[in-house]
């Protein structure tokens, strides 16, 4: 991989046409020249990301063969644009070439996708992606000194490997995000390799890069899951709420125009069409910056930046100030005599306007909280508009809204109180037990990861002034990850019901779940309760993950135990680890203590 010139890379990619055909209009010539330069220099990036996400099991060497094939394809088309193969969509070309690789479809079990054509093949490749990447080996790590030697001697190979490994482990992350992560990785490598204490530098500077990837991965999977399970209408309402809070002075008509651009962006990005995704992302940012005077006063500096920093900056910018003339409440939705008639005339537009007006007036509420208010209002009007006196019925809507918000607020205050009383470790164990009981069919790694992320929501938010919105937003992302992106993901009847029935009330639905009664525990295995001296050699983070996995596996095996009984068993385990790691012979100690833990 050449030096990651991602600013120019994404700028060029945004002008990539639907096919590799030469433009016919004079005004397209400059765009074509940019596209041509992109194709010559950056086709490898598209191939690495798309292939690693579509065929996660594929080896690096198999990926290199496809990169070579795609580069040769590009060269042929640049030499002779009239070739039939050069009129195809880039994503279709990529999938055809993946299918044409000898023995690859059979080896990695996607030959059923290659037997399809058109949209069916495209969606088959998408549904073949696996969110749980436990089947992959651990992320390869190099000693910082080795990493720097590799970077200095063969930067291309190191960065190619990095992008390949990150993409295959994050199959639903959008291409722009992965490219920014790769650019940050190179910045870290370049800077840290000049430092004397390379270990400390890599450890410190890698943290924000990892956090950036995790945050965007979680959000993108969340919205894509909503799109695939509930359709574009739910995504529309999510973004009406998000953008109305962020840009409270935007006009409704302008907002809807922007929402349409965003929705088309998610179609390509969620399905993994790298080219379409980046082009559409640029279109959204161009839209915002071209109308910044009427959208927000906080993004002027962002819009002066180059792509992709511009997009990053806009996403991370503060919410705009609330317009001074904006009333505390919009009376027309509760006080007007004609609410039912306005709703019936155009329901989608009516509720979109309500979401817009309510969200821009309540920047303190979470996005799930706002969507719950919208659902409450819909249900209220459904009842009220069938009564003899509709205005007398819906006049009390604000009371319903406040009641719903207060209920959610109390739940979060109680959870934050649990966190303060139990501490991070205690809350982690509580959530691992709860998640495993309601969704024991998930892998241990997945449950541990979900538990960690749920606890992170509380450790991040419970000390903030805006703890309500913060906790609710982050916890909702975790549940989105549990439910998964693919619409055909199934866990158990109760969890599936919460995941697929009502997006706005998904979290309250999960709060009411009990242990899954359909679950059949695996046969008892003493191996689960057998430990060795290597437990004592694990570093803090590794030991914590082993401890968490043990707890999850115990809950899976002894599903009928109460939380108190599980806590007692877990205490036996932690006491045994502490005792044996201090013993003269840890192995002998573990041999004596292990049989007692499960009893």
3-state SS record for 11-69: HHHCCCCCCCCCCCCHHHHHHHHHHHHHHHHHHHHHHHHHHHHHCCCCCHHHHHHHHHH
Q: Looking at residue 307, what is its pLDDT? A: 60
Taking residues 415-430, what's their average pLDDT? 90
* pLDDT level of residue 263 (50, 70, 90 thresholds): confident
* Per-residue model confidence as pLDDT tens digits over 326-369: 888 889 999 999 999 999 999 999 999 999 999 999 999 999 99
The position carrying tokens 């000898």 is: 102
* pLDDT level of residue 16 (50, 70, 90 thresholds): very low
Alpha helix locations (H) across 501-562? 506-511, 540-557
**What kind of fold does domain 28-218 have according to CATH?**
Serum Albumin; Chain A, Domain 1 (1.10.246)
pLDDT score of 572 more than 80: yes
Contact 335, 395 (CB under 8 A): yes
Q: Looking at residue 467, what is its pLDDT? A: 81
* Per-residue model confidence as pLDDT tens digits over 104-118: 999 999 999 999 998
Q: Looking at residue 142, what is its pLDDT? A: 78
* pLDDT > 70: percent of the chain: 92
Is the link from the previous residue into 308 a cis peptide, with omega within 30 of 0?
yes
* Per-residue model confidence as pLDDT tens digits over 505-549: 999 999 999 999 999 998 887 778 888 888 887 777 778 888 899
* Per-residue model confidence as pLDDT tens digits over 364-394: 999 999 999 999 999 999 999 999 999 999 9
* Per-residue model confidence as pLDDT tens digits over 74-85: 889 888 888 888
Taking residues 572-591, what's their average pLDDT? 88
With a CB cutoff of 8 Å and minimum separation 6, the contacts of 385 are 339, 340, 343, 344
* pLDDT level of residue 306 (50, 70, 90 thresholds): low
pLDDT score of 13 more than 70: no
Select from 547, 528, 526 the least CA-distant residue to 536: 547
Alpha carbon distance, N-terminus to C-terminus of the chain: 56
42 compared with 222, residue with greater pLDDT: 222
Select from 506, 503, 485 the least CA-distant residue to 494: 506
Task: Provide CATH 1.10.246.10 ranges for the chain.
Answer: 28-218, 520-598
**Range with top average pLDDT, 128-142, 267-281, 448-462, 539-553:** 448-462
Q: Looking at residue 152, what is its pLDDT? A: 87
**Range with top average pLDDT, 5-14, 208-217, 398-407:** 398-407
Contact 281, 311 (CB under 8 A): yes
Alpha helix locations (H) across 174-331? 175-192, 198-230, 232-246, 252-271, 274-290, 292-295, 300-303, 309-316
Taking residues 427-436, what's their average pLDDT? 93
Q: Looking at residue 598, what is its pLDDT? A: 66
Contact 517, 509 (CB under 8 A): no
pLDDT score of 18 more than 50: no
pLDDT score of 590 more than 90: no
Residues annotated within the binding site for Zn(2+) are 273
Calpha distance 596→599 (Å, rounded): 5
24 compared with 145, residue with greater pLDDT: 145
* Per-residue model confidence as pLDDT tens digits over 219-229: 898 988 898 88
Calpha distance 376→304 (Å, rounded): 41
pLDDT score of 438 more than 90: yes
Q: Looking at residue 525, what is its pLDDT? A: 78
Number of H helices, E strands in the chain: 29, 0
pLDDT score of 556 more than 50: yes
Neighbours of 528 (CB within 10 A): 18
Calpha distance 350→346 (Å, rounded): 6
> Average pLDDT, whole number, for the chain?
85
**Which of 558-593 are b and which e, b meaning 16 or more Cβ less than 10 Å from the residue's Cβ?**
ebebeeeebbebbebbeebbeebbeeeebeebbeeb
Q: Looking at residue 319, what is its pLDDT? A: 87
**What kind of fold does domain 520-598 have according to CATH?**
Serum Albumin; Chain A, Domain 1 (1.10.246)
pLDDT score of 484 more than 80: yes
Q: Looking at residue 28, what is its pLDDT? A: 34
pLDDT score of 131 more than 50: yes
Residues annotated within the binding site are 273
Helix H, strand E, coil C: the string for 457-478 is: HHHHHCCCCCHHHHHHHHHHHH
Taking residues 88-115, what's their average pLDDT? 93
Q: Looking at residue 40, what is its pLDDT? A: 58
21 compared with 307, residue with greater pLDDT: 307
* pLDDT > 90: percent of the chain: 43
pLDDT score of 41 more than 80: no
pLDDT score of 29 more than 70: no
* pLDDT level of residue 493 (50, 70, 90 thresholds): very high
């Amino acid at each position: 991989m050449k030096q990651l010139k991602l600013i120019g890379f994404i700028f060029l990619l945004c002008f990539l046409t639907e096919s590799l055909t030469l433009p016919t209009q004079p005004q397209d010539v400059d765009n074509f020249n940019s596209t041509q330069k992109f194709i010559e220099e950056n086709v490898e990036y598209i191939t690495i990301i798309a292939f690693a996400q579509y065929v996660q099991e594929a080896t690096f060497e198999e990926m290199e063969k496809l990169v070579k094939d795609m580069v040769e394809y590009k060269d042929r088309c640049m030499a002779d644009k009239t070739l039939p193969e050069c009129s195809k969509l880039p994503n279709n070309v990529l999938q055809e070439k993946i299918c044409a690789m000898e023995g690859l479809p059979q080896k990695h079990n996607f030959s059923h996708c290659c037997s399809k054509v058109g949209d069916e093949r495209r969606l088959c490749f998408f549904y073949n992606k696996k969110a749980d990447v436990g089947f992959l080996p651990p992320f390869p790590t190099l000693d910082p000194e080795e990493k720097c030697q590799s970077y200095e001697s063969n930067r291309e190979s190191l960065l190619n490997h990095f992008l390949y490994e990150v993409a295959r482990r994050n199959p639903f992350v959008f291409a722009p995000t992965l490219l920014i992560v790769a650019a940050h990785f190179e910045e870290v490598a370049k800077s840290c390799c000049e430092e004397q204490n390379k270990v400390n530098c890599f450890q410190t500077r890698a943290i924000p890069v990892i956090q950036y990837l995790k945050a965007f991965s979680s959000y993108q999977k969340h919205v894509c899951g909503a799109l695939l399970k509930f359709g574009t209408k739910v995504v529309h309402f999510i973004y009406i709420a998000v953008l109305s809070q962020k840009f409270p002075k935007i006009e409704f008509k302008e907002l809807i125009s922007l929402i349409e651009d965003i929705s088309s962006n998610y179609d390509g990005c969620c399905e993994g069409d790298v080219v379409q995704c980046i082009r559409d992302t640029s279109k959204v940012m161009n839209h915002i910056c071209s109308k910044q005077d009427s959208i927000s006063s906080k993004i002027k500096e962002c819009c002066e930046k180059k792509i992709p920093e511009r997009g990053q900056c806009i996403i991370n910018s503060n919410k705009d100030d609330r317009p001074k003339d904006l009333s505390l409440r919009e009376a027309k939705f509760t006080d007007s005599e004609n609410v039912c008639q306005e709703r019936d005339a155009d329901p989608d537009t009516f509720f979109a306007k309500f979401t817009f007006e309510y969200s821009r007036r309540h920047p303190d509420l979470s996005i799930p909280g706002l969507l719950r208010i919208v659902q409450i209002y819909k249900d209220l009007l459904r009842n009220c508009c069938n009564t003899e006196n509709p205005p007398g019925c819906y006049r009390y809507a604000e009371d319903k809204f406040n009641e719903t918000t207060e209920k959610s607020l109390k739940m979060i205050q109680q959870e934050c109180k649990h966190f303060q009383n139990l501490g991070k470790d205690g809350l982690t164990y509580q959530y691992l037990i709860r998640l495993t009981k309601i969704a024991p069919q998930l892998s241990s790694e997945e449950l541990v990861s979900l538990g960690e992320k749920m606890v992170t929501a509380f450790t991040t938010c419970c000390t903030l002034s805006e703890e309500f919105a913060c906790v609710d937003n982050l916890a909702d992302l975790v549940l989105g990850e549990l439910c998964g992106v693919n619409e055909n993901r199934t866990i158990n009847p109760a969890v599936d019901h919460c995941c697929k029935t009502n997006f706005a009330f998904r979290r309250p639905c999960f709060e009411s779940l009990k242990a899954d009664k359909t679950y059949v525990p695996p046969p008892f295995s003493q191996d689960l309760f057998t430990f060795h001296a290597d437990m004592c050699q694990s570093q803090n983070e590794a030991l914590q993950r082993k401890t968490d996995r043990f707890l999850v596996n115990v809950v899976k095996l002894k599903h009928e135990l109460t939380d108190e009984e599980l806590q007692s068993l877990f205490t036996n385990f932690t006491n045994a680890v502490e005792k044996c790691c201090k013993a003269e012979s840890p192995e002998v100690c573990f041999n004596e203590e292990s049989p007692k833990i499960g009893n």
